[in-house]
């Protein structure tokens, strides 16, 4: 990893104040809007999880998804000014380019998580340190397929279309994954279980003392990672023309 390159990539991401503020403030505002009114609920819809914790993880899933998928918007913007083509004429490897992009995506996701955890604690979320860590670990792993999704979208969309596409796709994943209300049975549950966003939200189950994810969860996340990763790699390879 090239530390100078990574440092400037991070620096310029966090210098874009509007980008960072929206990435953090929107999930936080949504968190207080949903968890605030039901803050006294200690067992949300029979899940065994308190409302502040459930929505904290739900919005961490949403905010994290937004943060990592939005690297697609940044990639599309760089493509539209010809920067990506210019980078291909340097020794910077594909891997190096994406490492820096993924690192910035995760940096932003981590800041979002931190702010949401703090917000959660103001609404009374208390967990042992080990559970905070395991929960965070699951969320970070659950975000991997969304990183691939972001890269894929960034290489097939134009800069103007990334806004609605990325916003819409993450909103849909969040809704079907249970960010806004627990999905516990029926067809919706069968669909949800096949989505990586469902398992992001399920990270809150570590507070129940279990492993958090079942084997199915690991399988779903891995399968989406492989599929989206292949699509992203293909999109990147094909994307050498002027646009």
Residues engaged in binding other proteins (CB under 8 A) = 2, 4-5, 8-9, 11-13, 15-16, 78, 81-83, 85-86, 88-93, 96, 240-242
Contacts of 192 (CB under 8 A, 6+ apart): 176, 177, 178, 183, 198
Nearer to other proteins, 85 or 134 (CB): 85
Count of positions on this chain that bind ligand ATP (CB under 6 A): 2
> With binding defined as CB under 6 A, does residue 240 bind ligand ATP?
no
User: 185 or 241, CB closer to ligand ATP?
Assistant: 241
Count of CB atoms situated within 10 Å of the CB of 120 = 22
Contact between 241 and ligand ATP per CB under 6 A: yes
The interface with ligand ATP within residues 179-208 (CB under 6 A) comprises none
Contact predicate 233/147, CB 8 Å: no
Regarding 90 and contact with ligand ATP (CB under 6 A), the answer is no
For the CB of residue 136, give the shortest distance to ligand ATP in the complex, in Å: 45
Specify the residue, 45 or 243, whose C-beta has the smaller distance to ligand ATP: 243
Please state the closest distance from residue 171 (CB atom) to other proteins, in A: 27
Q: Which is nearer to ligand ATP, 50 or 84 (CB)?
A: 84
Give the position of tokens 């042992």: 128
**Closest residue to ligand ATP using C-beta atoms:** 241
Positions touching ligand ATP (CB under 6 A) are 241-242
């Amino acid at each position: 990893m090239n530390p100078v390159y990574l440092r400037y990539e991070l620096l310029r991401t966090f210098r874009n104040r509007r980008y960072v503020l929206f990435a953090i403030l929107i999930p936080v505002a949504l968190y207080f809007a949903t968890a605030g009114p039901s803050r006294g609920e200690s067992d949300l819809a029979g899940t065994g999880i308190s409302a502040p914790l459930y929505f904290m993880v739900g919005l961490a899933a949403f905010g994290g998804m937004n943060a990592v998928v939005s690297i697609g918007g940044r990639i599309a913007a760089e493509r539209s000014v010809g920067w990506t083509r210019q980078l291909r004429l340097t020794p910077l490897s594909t891997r190096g380019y994406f490492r820096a992009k993924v690192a910035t995506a995760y940096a932003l996701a981590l800041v979002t998580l931190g702010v949401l955890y703090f917000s959660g604690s103001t609404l009374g979320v208390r967990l042992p340190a080990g559970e905070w860590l395991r929960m965070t670990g699951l969320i970070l792993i659950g975000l991997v397929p969304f990183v691939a999704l972001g890269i894929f979208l960034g290489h097939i969309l134009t800069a103007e279309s990334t806004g609605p596409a990325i916003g819409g796709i993450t909103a849909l994943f969040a809704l079907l994954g249970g960010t806004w209300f627990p999905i516990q049975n029926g067809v919706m549950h069968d669909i949800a279980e096949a989505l990586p966003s469902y398992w992001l939200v399920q990270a809150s189950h570590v507070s129940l003392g279990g492993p958090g994810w079942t084997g199915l969860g690991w399988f779903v996340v891995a399968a989406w990672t492989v599929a989206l990763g292949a699509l992203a790699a293909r999109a990147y390879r094909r994307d050498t023309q002027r646009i």
